[in-house]
Structure 1
């Protein structure tokens, strides 16, 4: 190891490979290699990083995978040129907010935390605004911070094999996502609004407890979908019991206002901006899959079955259930559609 450092020092090398050397400590003389842009320390027994590494201000790639770290080292928060950071297969339980939230990691593009014991990511992760690849596979995450929506350049997110029971709708603000992996969690549903991920090409939700996909799922530009091992609703005819529809005054008024708001010449459309509370309330409205009329809080839960090959132009011959909402039994009883009511057991 010493020979490698000496050669790098005298050769003014920009890369140093100390992987698989059985080292427990990084020699302080490494800090003198101020020209380093790549430092490989993976497959060792390193438990901590010396503060002297602060001098490696040109370091762009650091691989600390397969070591014995128990938390993200503090010195990393000061390596301002760092673009790729690999911390996979350690014993990391903690991602300190003061490290991840510093300006020092603002240029990070790749962050790999796979195969650790992380239970939560701090809200300060929103500081990593240039991050494109975030991998937290095989950890103990119980939730995804809503602040993830600040990572607008994120193209790949891997949350496979964690303890997630839900995903925040804010995740759909990451509109550059092309790959989303959330397999082998405890998800019972995906949040509505998934169509916002207009660039999503790969989605892996296998091994969860999904019953159906969210509204407009079939409009995504997917090329690959992995969804085996879920609890999808089955296409089985059962008797239908229809309740008498009695809409609340609030629902009736909301539907009227929403319809009027579609006409830009109407008085309602012109006056609505003057009532911000009402505007915010109506922002959560839905749209009937059949008649396209709006509704607020009352709808009929339905499902339609989408052929991945025919409807989404994918290679798979699989058929998947996609959620749909109808505004009334009047629409539901219309002939010629392929929407089915969802039976409750």
Structure 2
């Protein structure tokens, strides 16, 4: 009924979400003025080639379906600005869909692939106008280098996948302002991220990261603010970033020391940091609480013979296990 009403009324929006459909009605292709098509929460495993006629489609939601790959037809919908493919079974993002390098033609209402020498072909425009791309909750292991063609992309989310690396071509996304890489298998981030001048939000919790790229100061402070402010429960990653910033803030001429006053909320958070009693290095969150004993007569030049315990904070078990200090605590293995 929704399709019939849209056909009769010439609507620009069609909502077929949660309709338990397995196939997109081919008559949808007759709605050539459609700008929004919602197909989420169904059992769709493929898209008909007829959707090529939706030349004005700006938003497409295919979330929570049964797609095993990014449909090739999407590479022709060059007016798309928002594409949602979350919660499918996608393992690969084909470079030809993202970059528009495949050559297609229509034969017998069926999409076929041809080589460059075939006749009656046209080059796909790709997804160059895409602003939002959501690939959350899939099984994607890598993003293709052709992602660099998405020059207008502002929001990229690949949460809960199997990414092992981020392509260096990500640096070409000059409009990118937010990227969510949470819950993947990343061990590092590419240095080219610093080229994304508009990037203000980076989410990378629950990965295998041991360090951050050496990036520009604006981006770095933004990353720190997000990691420290939003992922406080992920102590290991948060603390590494905080300690680096605190250490750099001690250097009078460092960029971080000069820029930190421009981030008052972050500066206020870092002001709660402490200093290790052994190595004197700064840290944000208390890691190890110890005591050492002061003899008031000898150490404080007081007349009393009392010995009193004094609280001491250490930054790590490495410092705690170092020889030559008199701090006492309980070490666990």
TM-score in terms of structure 2 length: 0.66
* Residues 92/160 of structure 1: CA separation in 2 closer, same or farther (3 Å cut): same
1:140 corresponds to 2:162: yes
Correspondences of 1:182-261 after superposition (within 5 Å):
182-197=204-219, 200=222, 203-204=226-227, 206=231, 207=234, 209-210=236-237, 212-213=240-241, 214=244, 219=259, 235-238=275-278
Shift in alpha-carbon separation, 1:164–1:223, aligned structure 2, 3 A: farther
Q: How does 1:91-130 map to 2 (within 5 A)?
A: 91-102=89-100, 103-130=125-152
- Cα distance in 1 for partners of 2:16, 2:43 equals 12
Task: Give unmatched runs, 5+ long, in structure 2.
Answer: 101-124, 249-255, 267-272, 288-314, 322-333
Q: Is the 8 A contact 2:184 2:207 kept in 1?
A: yes
Identify the residue that residue 69 of structure 1 maps to in structure 2.
67
Cα deviation, 1:149-180, whole Å, max 9, x if unaligned, reads 00011011100011111111111111111111
Tell me which of 154, 160, 163 is aligned to 2:185: 163
Could you say what the CA RMSD is over the residues aligned between the two structures, in angstroms? 3.0
Cα shift at 1:303: 5.2
> Number of matched residues?
244
- Taking the aligned partners of 1:208 and 1:162, their CA distance within structure 2 comes to 18
Judging changes above 3 Å, is the alpha-carbon distance between structure 1 residues 224 and 70 closer, same or farther for their aligned structure 2 residues? farther
Distance 2:220 2:227 in 1: 16
| Deviation for aligned residue 1:234 | 8.8
Is residue 48 of structure 1 aligned with residue 46 of structure 2?
Answer: yes
Q: 1:189 to 1:20 in 2, by over 3 A?
A: same
Aligned with 1:131: secondary structure? Answer: coil
1:269-317: CA deviations, max 9, x gaps? xxxxxxxxxxxxxxxxxxxxxxxxxxxxxxxxx95447xxxxxxxxxxx
Maintained 8 Å contact 2:156/2:179: yes
Instruction: Provide structure 1 residue ranges, at least 5 long, that are not aligned to the other structure.
Output: 226-232, 241-301, 307-317, 321-339
Determine the C-alpha separation between the residues in 1 that align with 2:31 and 2:204.
Answer: 40
Aligned counterpart, 2:8: 10
Q: Distance in 2 between matches of 1:16 and 1:32?
A: 12
SS in 2 for 1:30: helix
Contact 2:276 2:283 in 1 (8 A): no
Query: Secondary structure of 1:160's match?
Result: coil
In 2, distance between residues paired with 1:187 and 1:50? 41
SS in 2 for 1:161: coil
Bigger-Rg structure (1/2): 2
Residues 96 and 122 in structure 1, CA contact (< 8 A), matched pair in contact too: yes
Change (3 A) 1:14 1:319: farther
Tell me, in whole angstroms, the C-alpha distance in 1 between the residues paired with 2:188 and 2:58: 34
Distance in structure 2 (CA, Å) of the matches to 1:224 and 1:20: 42
1:148 Cα deviation (Å)? Answer: 0.3
* 8 Å Cα contact 1:175/1:199 also seen in 2: no
CA distance in 1, matches of 2:264, 2:162: 29
SS at match of 1:203: helix
- Cα deviation digits, residues 227-285 of structure 1 (max 9, x gap): xxxxxx995333x7xxxxxxxxxxxxxxxxxxxxxxxxxxxxxxxxxxxxxxxxxxxxx
Q: Counterparts of 1:198 and 1:236 in 2: how far apart (Å)? A: 24
